């Protein structure tokens, strides 16, 4: 075994990863617009030994707005506030390459990196939702490959802007009246297929040089993109063989591009429901699932799979034809994962819906602290993970249960960067 | 006299309003990228009784980057961080309508309003600098009227997004599984000449309903725009008659649009240099001016006026032809103000440069606390101001001097909103 440490990010999307989490007795759904809610989570995660907070984002109020909590404050606003009240924990926020300009992206994340003294991260997404497109003046999202082509251009321009200042550009010679060394701050004149920007950035080089870059695409274009740019890849694969395949593939791609395999870390998402006994953990999951609104999750699954499942038998397996049609291209690889789960585990449609509701198809780990820890340890030892994006189903309860019950059994040095 | 109170915003742009402030012995120019610098200023301003912090912004590193400190962190990042460490003070940030989309603008400022519990403000600018245009893929800025036409479209879309949620839309009925009342969250389907957006916003209605709106244009289009949308107008007029004209004009425009005159407040900028004696204050200004780099300020003035002044006699009045040519359209009204100052006060070119350097042509108030306070009081009593945007030339020293020496002599109830 090598001495590498398991990385742990606390993923936060609204009140937790479970669709119905807001209906749990202990949940306060109105709290997600209060800063106190975020400060409480950040402090728990920091004290509990997480490396970073990881904020997902979607640029639209999602369809079933009458049923589901999908409103969310801007991640950069939340993370900037949290920078002021935390000391050590990383602050990773999602922003889309499809709807923002590199000058803004480069500047915001560099600013966050400055005020947090080097704790900023950007989770790069291309967006895939038609509602997002319509909020930004398009009728539909551009095709998958077109979105990635723009993403490459946006990231290249953003990197160039971050590199437009040398670390020692601010000479601050009061006597001579020279604030900058002009040789160390350069225009970038990026002129790509989608993006033009002159530069330089109007923010000095940030403490990390550039923020950490995270990415989650698992399509061919997504893997290529991640191998080129990402420090951290967030994967949805929830079976050990699939995760091992993805892990090996990403490391190989990185090496082919001249990167060290360690420079690209692979983090599966894990939805932990930890309790003192296995039965208590299962009971907690069952409670959440009772609050799930079947029609709502079914509509989401139908959209994912590109197949109307509204009249399917909930207690039979996923119909055989599902997954063979022309799925929504934007979530093709997510479809393969979900269909794979259903077939492999011989789930009924109702069971698949529960899996989708609890954490969007990510690894669901229900049990005692030692059992969940052992599973995570195994994934790290057999080449399936360098760490995990921990998606607590209900905040802050399941995050705290993870800290109290799972963390003590993990073979990591809590409080240190992996 | 009415019972209205004088409003006071602390304007912060980098290390202060004086071009050469960073060269003062007490200045730490590297501090402006540290959160501690901003927290210190925010706490001084809050404790000192200011109503709001007001952060200017330009989306480019300005020309003479070798000489002048013009880098600046993103205002929304700074203000979000300050929301976490302040309780009462308003948080007004500049953002441009020319380079951002209403969905992002609406969401960011609503998010800031939520986390600050109703303290957010947006200073709406259209941007005028060719370098900004080039950072965002244009060669030059669109024409002045075109920029304002876009600004109207952007603000209308942004207002529609803020209005897409009713205050009581979140019903949070756990039992019924209804998070929102769908009748109280609406699409906006804004379809304007520049902007399309579907909505609704993915952020609930914010504590203020919408953030405070500030604006600074003084052209005809700028005044029209402010009369329609602004709660607060930031003016550059530095003589009493000019400010009175502007004040009366803005109130009249507001009334013609069916607004109450009190709903639009006019704040001239003031650059205070307060000291125990008039002589000490003058000496402080002279010290700052000694650090001014004449060629640099001359280049800026030349650009403003659209006239090359590099070979003009510094100790003679501004050449007679200046201001009659075709100036840079974007700063036409600023030009009129600067030329007006020079002619009215019979300044030499060198004196005009000092005025420009200390606070970009805003009212310069050098003297004892009581003298500065009396002047501010007069402006409020004779219909030239409802309050002031206080632009300390060197931070935090001149802000603290204002608080210590001027504030006690102002007839305002410190700590209350005006």
Domain with A15 in it: what CATH number? Answer: 3.20.20.30
Structural domain includes residue B181? no
Binding residues of A: 57, 94, 144, 148, 218-219
A170 at B interface, C-beta within 8 A: yes
CB atoms within 10 A of CB A68: 22
Contacts of A200 in chain B (CB under 8 A): 61, 65
Q: Judge contact between B141 and B129, C-beta under 8 A.
A: yes
Specify burial of residue A304 (Cβ count, 10 A radius: 0-12, 13-18, 19+).
Answer: buried
C-alpha distances in Å from residue B95, one per residue of A74, A222, B292: 15, 33, 29
The whole-number pLDDT of residue B412 equals 65
Range of the domain at A31: 7-276+360-409
A130 at B interface, C-beta within 8 A: no
Given A61, A73, A178, which is nearest B115 (Cβ)?
A: A73
The residue written with tokens 């709660």 in the block is B231
Q: Judge contact between A77 and A107, C-beta under 8 A.
A: no
Taking the CA of residue A82 and the nearest CA in chain B, the distance in Å comes to: 7
The whole-number pLDDT of residue B219 equals 86
- β pairing state of A212-215 and A120-125: parallel
Average pLDDT for residues A225-244, to the nearest whole number?
95
Nearest by Cα to B360 from B373, B376, B382, B341: B341
Structural domain includes residue A197? yes
Q: Distance between CA atoms of A403 and B321, rounded to whole angstroms?
A: 74
A194 at B interface, C-beta within 8 A: no
- pLDDT band of residue A328 (cuts 50, 70, 90) is very low
Given B35, B196, B200, which is nearest A137 (Cβ)?
A: B196
Average pLDDT across chain A, whole number: 91
Q: Judge contact between A314 and A294, C-beta under 8 A.
A: yes
Query: Would you say residue A346 has pLDDT above 60?
Result: yes
Structural domain includes residue A61? yes
Query: Would you say residue A332 has pLDDT above 80?
Result: no
pLDDT tens for residues B227-275? 999 999 999 888 999 999 999 999 999 999 999 999 999 999 999 999 9
Taking the CA of residue B13 and the nearest CA in chain A, the distance in Å comes to: 13
The whole-number pLDDT of residue A316 equals 92
- pLDDT band of residue A325 (cuts 50, 70, 90) is low
How many domains in chain A?
A: 1
Residue A49 phi/psi, 5-degree rounding, is: 100, 10
A191 - beta bridge partners? A196
Kindly state the percentage of chain A with pLDDT values over 90.
71
C-alpha distances in Å from residue A316, one per residue of A302, A319, B339, B381: 16, 8, 82, 80
**Element of type H or E holding A171:** strand A170-173
B286 at A interface, C-beta within 8 A: no
* CA-based nearest residue in chain A for residue B207: A33
Give SS3 for B234: strand
The number of angstroms, rounded, from the C-alpha of A331 to the middle of its chain's C-alpha atoms is 15
* DSSP track, A146-162: HHHHHHHHHHHHHHHHH
- pLDDT band of residue A55 (cuts 50, 70, 90) is very high
* CA-based nearest residue in chain A for residue B64: A182
A77/B136 Cβ within 8 A: no
- Angle at alpha carbon of residue B127, lines to B126 and B130, rounded to 5°: 140
- What separation, in Å, do the N-terminal and C-terminal C-alpha atoms of chain B show? 15
* CA-based nearest residue in chain A for residue B120: A77
Taking the CA of residue A373 and the nearest CA in chain B, the distance in Å comes to: 33
A201 at B interface, C-beta within 8 A: yes
Structural domain includes residue B311? no
Taking the CA of residue A201 and the nearest CA in chain B, the distance in Å comes to: 7
Query: Would you say residue A49 has pLDDT above 70?
Result: yes
As a dihedral over the C-alpha atoms of residue B22, residue B23, residue B24, residue B26, rounded to 10 degrees, the angle is 70
The whole-number pLDDT of residue A417 equals 42
E strands within B236-285? 265-274
Q: Distance between CA atoms of A202 and B73, rounded to whole angstroms?
A: 8
**Cis geometry, peptide bond prior to residue B186 (ω within 30 degrees of 0):** no
Q: Judge contact between B146 and B238, C-beta under 8 A.
A: no
B114/A73 Cβ within 8 A: yes
The whole-number pLDDT of residue B4 equals 58
Taking only residues 108 to 127 of chain A, the set having a beta carbon closer than 8 angstroms to any beta carbon of chain B reads 108, 111-112, 114-117
Taking the CA of residue B21 and the nearest CA in chain A, the distance in Å comes to: 10
Q: What share of chain A is helix, strand, coil (3-state, %, to 5)?
A: 45, 15, 40
**Token duo for residue A395:** 């905040």
Q: Distance between CA atoms of B120 and A259, rounded to whole angstroms?
A: 44
Given B29, B59, B74, which is nearest A172 (Cβ)?
A: B29
Taking the CA of residue B250 and the nearest CA in chain A, the distance in Å comes to: 33
Q: CA-based Rg of chain A, rounded to a whole angstrom? A: 22
Structural domain includes residue B184? no
Q: How many residues would you count in chain B?
A: 418
Q: Distance between CA atoms of A122 and A93, rounded to whole angstroms?
A: 5
Give SS3 for B222: helix
Q: Going by C-beta distance under 8 Å and a sequence separation of 6 or more, which residues neighbour residue B191?
A: none
Average pLDDT for residues A271-276, to the nearest whole number?
97
Q: Judge contact between A91 and A119, C-beta under 8 A.
A: yes
A196 at B interface, C-beta within 8 A: yes
Q: Distance between CA atoms of B150 and B124, rounded to whole angstroms?
A: 12
A85/B85 Cβ within 8 A: yes
B77/A80 Cβ within 8 A: yes
* CA-based nearest residue in chain B for residue A112: B77
Query: Would you say residue A162 has pLDDT above 50?
Result: yes
The whole-number pLDDT of residue B170 equals 94
Contacts of B185 in chain A (CB under 8 A): 61, 65
The whole-number pLDDT of residue B308 equals 87
**Element of type H or E holding B278:** helix B278-291
Q: Distance between CA atoms of B105 and B95, rounded to whole angstroms?
A: 8
The whole-number pLDDT of residue A357 equals 86
Structural domain includes residue A305? no
- What separation, in Å, do the N-terminal and C-terminal C-alpha atoms of chain A show? 15
Q: How many residues would you count in chain A?
A: 418
| 418 residues of chain B, pLDDT tens digit each | 345 589 999 999 888 899 888 999 999 999 999 999 999 999 999 999 999 999 999 999 986 644 566 889 999 999 999 999 999 999 999 999 999 999 999 999 999 999 999 999 999 999 988 999 999 999 988 998 999 999 999 999 999 999 999 999 999 999 998 889 989 999 999 999 999 999 999 999 999 999 999 999 788 899 999 999 999 999 988 899 999 999 999 999 999 999 999 999 999 999 999 999 999 999 999 999 999 888 888 888 887 787 888 888 999 998 887 766 544 445 566 777 778 888 888 889 988 888 888 887 889 999 999 999 999 999 999 999 999 999 999 999 999 999 999 999 997 643 344 4
The number of angstroms, rounded, from the C-alpha of B241 to the middle of its chain's C-alpha atoms is 21
Give SS3 for A213: strand
**Token duo for residue A118:** 């080097």
Q: Going by C-beta distance under 8 Å and a sequence separation of 6 or more, which residues neighbour residue A348?
A: A314, A315, A316, A317
B39/A71 Cβ within 8 A: no
B27 at A interface, C-beta within 8 A: yes
The whole-number pLDDT of residue A211 equals 98
Binding residues of A for FMN: 57, 94, 144, 148, 218-219
The whole-number pLDDT of residue A2 equals 42
Structural domain includes residue B61? yes
Q: Judge contact between A87 and A46, C-beta under 8 A.
A: yes
Query: Would you say residue A401 has pLDDT above 50?
Result: yes
Give SS3 for A27: coil
The whole-number pLDDT of residue A318 equals 86
* DSSP track, B283-339: HHHHHHHHH--HHHHHHHHHHHHTS--TTS-TTSBPPTTTTTS---GGGHHHHHHHH
Query: Would you say residue A418 has pLDDT above 80?
Result: no
Interface with A, mutate which of B27, B58, B65, B81 (most A CBs under 10 A): B81
Q: Distance between CA atoms of A40 and B3, rounded to whole angstroms?
A: 42
Q: Distance between CA atoms of A170 and A182, rounded to whole angstroms?
A: 9
Contacts of A131 in chain B (CB under 8 A): 198
B366 - beta bridge partners? B273
B121 - beta bridge partners? B92, B212
Q: Going by C-beta distance under 8 Å and a sequence separation of 6 or more, which residues neighbour residue A208?
A: A113, A118, A120
Q: Distance between CA atoms of A16 and A23, rounded to whole angstroms?
A: 11
Structural domain includes residue B283? no
Given B83, B180, B204, which is nearest A81 (Cβ)?
A: B83
**Token duo for residue A166:** 């040398």
Specify burial of residue A321 (Cβ count, 10 A radius: 0-12, 13-18, 19+).
Answer: exposed
B137/A84 Cβ within 8 A: no
| Count of CB pairs separated by less than 8 Å, A with B | 217
* CA-based nearest residue in chain B for residue A291: B177
Given B23, B61, B178, which is nearest A200 (Cβ)?
A: B61
Q: CA-based Rg of chain B, rounded to a whole angstrom? A: 22
More confident residue, A304 or B138: B138
Given A22, A71, A77, which is nearest B108 (Cβ)?
A: A77
Q: Distance between CA atoms of B391 and B31, rounded to whole angstroms?
A: 18
**Token duo for residue B271:** 């650059």
């Amino acid at each position: 075994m090598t001495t590498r440490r398991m990385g742990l990010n606390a993923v936060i999307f609204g009140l937790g990863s479970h669709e119905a989490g807001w209906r749990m007795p202990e949940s306060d759904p109105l709290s997600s617009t209060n800063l106190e809610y975020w400060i409480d989570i950040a402090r728990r995660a920091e004290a509990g030994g997480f490396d970073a907070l990881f904020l997902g984002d979607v640029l639209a109020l999602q369809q079933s707005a009458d049923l589901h909590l999908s409103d969310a404050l801007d991640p950069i606003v939340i993370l900037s506030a949290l920078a002021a009240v935390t000391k050590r924990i990383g602050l990773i926020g999602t922003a889309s390459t499809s709807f923002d300009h590199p000058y803004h992206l480069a500047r915001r994340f560099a600013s966050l990196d400055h005020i947090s003294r080097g704790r900023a991260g950007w989770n790069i997404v291309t967006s895939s939702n038609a509602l997002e497109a319509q909020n930004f003046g398009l009728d539909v999202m551009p095709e998958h490959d077109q979105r990635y082509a723009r993403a490459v251009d946006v990231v290249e321009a953003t990197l160039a802007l971050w590199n437009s200042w040398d670390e020692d550009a601010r000479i601050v010679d009061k006597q001579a009246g020279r604030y900058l060394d002009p040789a160390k701050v350069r225009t970038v004149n990026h002129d790509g297929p989608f993006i033009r920007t002159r530069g330089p950035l109007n923010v000095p080089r940030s403490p990390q040089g550039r923020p950490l870059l995270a990415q989650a695409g698992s399509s061919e274009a997504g893997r290529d993109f991640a191998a080129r740019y990402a420090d951290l890849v967030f994967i949805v694969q929830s079976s050990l063989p699939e995760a091992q395949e993805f892990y090996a593939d990403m490391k190989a791609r990185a090496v082919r591009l001249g990167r060290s395999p360690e420079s690209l870390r692979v983090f599966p998402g894990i939805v932990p429901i930890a309790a003192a006994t296995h039965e208590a953990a299962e009971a907690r999951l069952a409670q959440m699932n009772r609050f799930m609104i079947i029609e709502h999750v079914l509509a989401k699954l139908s959209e994912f799979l590109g197949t109307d499942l509204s009249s399917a038998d909930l207690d039979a397996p996923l119909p055989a034809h599902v997954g063979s049609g022309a799925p929504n291209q934007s979530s093709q690889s997510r479809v393969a994962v979900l269909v794979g789960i259903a077939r492999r585990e011989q789930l009924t449609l109702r069971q698949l819906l529960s899996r989708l509701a609890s954490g969007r198809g990510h690894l669901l780990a229900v049990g005692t602290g030692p059992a969940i820890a052992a599973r995570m340890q195994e994934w790290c030892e057999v080449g399936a993970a360098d760490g995990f994006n921990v998606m607590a189903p209900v905040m802050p309860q399941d995050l705290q249960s993870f800290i109290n019950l799972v963390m003590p059994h993990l073979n990591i040095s809590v409080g240190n960067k992996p």
